[in-house]
Amino acid sequence: MASHDLRGNPCATASAAARDAAEQALWRMMSFYDVPNADLDAAIAADPGWALPHIMKAGFLLSLTEPALAPEAAGHLEQARSRLEHAGAREKAHLEAVQQVLEGRWHVACRIWDDWLVEHPRDALALQWAQLWDFYRGDAAGLRGRPARALPEWDEGDPLYAHVLALYAFGLEESHLQPQAEEAGRRALSIEPRAPWAVHAVAHVMEMQGRFEEGGAWLRQHQGVWTEGNGFAGHLWWHKALFRLEALDIAGVLRVIDGHLSGDALQITLQRVDAAAMLWRLHLLGEDVAERCAALLAGWDLGGSGSAHGVGQAAGYYAFNDVHAVLAMLGAGEVHRAEAWVARCAERAMSPEDARRTNHLMAREVGLPLMRGLLAWKRGAAAAACEQIYPVRTLAQRFGGSHAQRDLIDLTLLAAAAGGGHRAMGRALVNERRMAKPVTPLTRHWLEALGDAEGERA
């Protein structure tokens, strides 16, 4: 018997217990408070014939961007497929989209969710998943436009309204609409203080505007919420370190890394990516992070057991993660391992079997030239590094992440330029930076490194 969820979306179960458990799982996925697995198990127990909890499990596993979890996700999709006789249109749409994710066609999955949301704008599951894979693909227009099309159809009293508004806030920020993004993020938090994605969106605004002291205070203000039992805490600690880096508070950055971006705090690749990114930024400033990078790699399952140079199934799965694995390898001094990793990524990017995967184009346009430029810089070929990396800047959004995350490309170019690669290019990049936000201690460092001792020349 067909029924409906709290938002009037069709769902093919008559069990109130199953619907309630799935709703709780959805809240966890949007708020990041604990993982949704136990709730989805409860939904399955309450209605073993309902396909949606299995689809939700598969989608959650795939959202972690861990290739090792793909077989488990595939198993849940198979379980869902065996229950299609009792499924409705909603279950079938989500099953089709998540299947496309599993097969690497992320752009197709987002189009399926787009089509579904035209008729069902209050399907929070579609909004949440589409936002994640828009983020992984660097689709700023989708990040902003999709929640914008849906929000007027929502009731502000809905328990998930603030989380959808937070999605919109982040999309605005990634679309360079900073004042609107901050307003939407603050409004979301006034409705629901336990909305870490809204805290995150406003933190991004402050990062983009050079408000590093205010940004640190902002995260402290909400720290009691996002540090307690929240899966997003690691990334917000990364933002805290980013604000300290902008102030050139190196000791403060290291305290955050050692306390929150290392060891047992790192459970999944997304968290390790943040750790690698922050360590690389310190490496560019001349800090010795080799030991910390080696420790990061030791705990990172890169799928390379028994293979040459530790390269296995993870290489070439997602270009954004590939780049960060290479950063950790280079920071640890494992240049040969990084070279083998890049070679495997190139092999997959050119493989006909992978040709339909979204990552195929990401790797060819952005990931591979960027990684080759990183290798050149590490070998001491600063000019070659500039030549490899500079053209990537205008395409970098295509391999996912945020503006703040992709800033490591410019920072690497600045280091290469200051090291003798191309000082005029470095000056141009600093000029662009100064036009975007006030001169911070970090920007002043690069001005001085490029030969401007005053660091304030117009």
Q: What number of residues does the chain have?
A: 458
Q: Which amino acid, residue 325?
A: A
The shares of helix, strand and coil residues in the chain, as percent rounded to the nearest 5, are 70, 0, 25
Query: Is the separation of the CB atoms in 297 and 305 below 8 Å?
Result: no
Query: Is the separation of the CB atoms in 334 and 82 below 8 Å?
Result: no
Residue 50 lies in a domain: yes
Per-residue pLDDT of the chain (458 residues; tens, 9 = 90+): 458 898 999 999 999 999 999 999 999 999 999 999 999 999 999 999 999 999 999 999 999 999 999 999 999 999 999 999 989 999 999 999 999 999 999 999 999 999 999 999 999 999 999 999 999 999 999 999 999 999 999 999 999 999 999 999 999 999 999 999 999 999 999 999 999 999 999 999 999 999 999 999 999 999 998 998 899 999 999 999 999 999 999 999 999 999 999 999 999 999 999 999 999 999 999 999 999 999 999 999 886 544 445 566 789 999 999 999 999 999 999 999 999 999 999 999 998 877 789 999 999 999 999 999 999 999 999 999 999 999 999 999 999 999 999 999 999 999 999 988 789 999 999 999 999 999 999 999 999 999 865 544 43
Residue 79 lies in a domain: yes
Query: Is the separation of the CB atoms in 373 and 412 below 8 Å?
Result: yes
Name the pairing type of β-strands 10-11 and 3-4.
Answer: antiparallel
Task: Please state whether 438 falls in left (phi above 0), alpha (psi between -120 and 50) or beta.
Answer: beta
Residue 113 lies in a domain: yes
Residue 97 lies in a domain: yes
Question: CA-CA distance, 145 to 404, in Å (whole number)?
Answer: 20
Residue 209 lies in a domain: no
pTM recorded for the entire structure:
0.94
Query: Is the separation of the CB atoms in 324 and 371 below 8 Å?
Result: no
**Helices and strands (H and E) in the chain: how many:** 25, 2
Q: What is the 3-state secondary structure (H, E, C) of 78-123?
A: HHHHCCHHHCCHHHHHHHHHHHHHHCCCHHHHHHHHHHHHHHCCCC
CATH of the domain at 87: 1.25.40
Question: CA-CA distance, 155 to 276, in Å (whole number)?
Answer: 40
C-alpha angle with apex 302: 174 to 239, nearest 5 degrees?
30
Residue 286 lies in a domain: no
Rg (CA), the chain: 22
Q: Tokens 């270009």 appear where?
A: 319
> What total of structural domains would you count in the chain?
1
Residue 401 lies in a domain: no
Question: CA-CA distance, 245 to 65, in Å (whole number)?
Answer: 27
Q: What is the 3-state secondary structure (H, E, C) of 269-313?
A: HHHHHHHHHHHHHHHHCCCCCHHHHHHHHHCCCCCCCCCHHHCCC
At residue 159, φ and ψ (nearest 5 deg) are -60, -20
pLDDT at residue 216 in the model = 98
pLDDT at residue 456 in the model = 46
Helix, coil or strand: residue 231: coil
CA neighbor of 313 nearest in space, from 370, 272, 374, 354? 354
Domain span at residue 59 reads 1-137
Residue 107 lies in a domain: yes
Measuring CA to CA, how many Å separate 148 from each of 153, 182, 243, 298?
10, 15, 29, 42
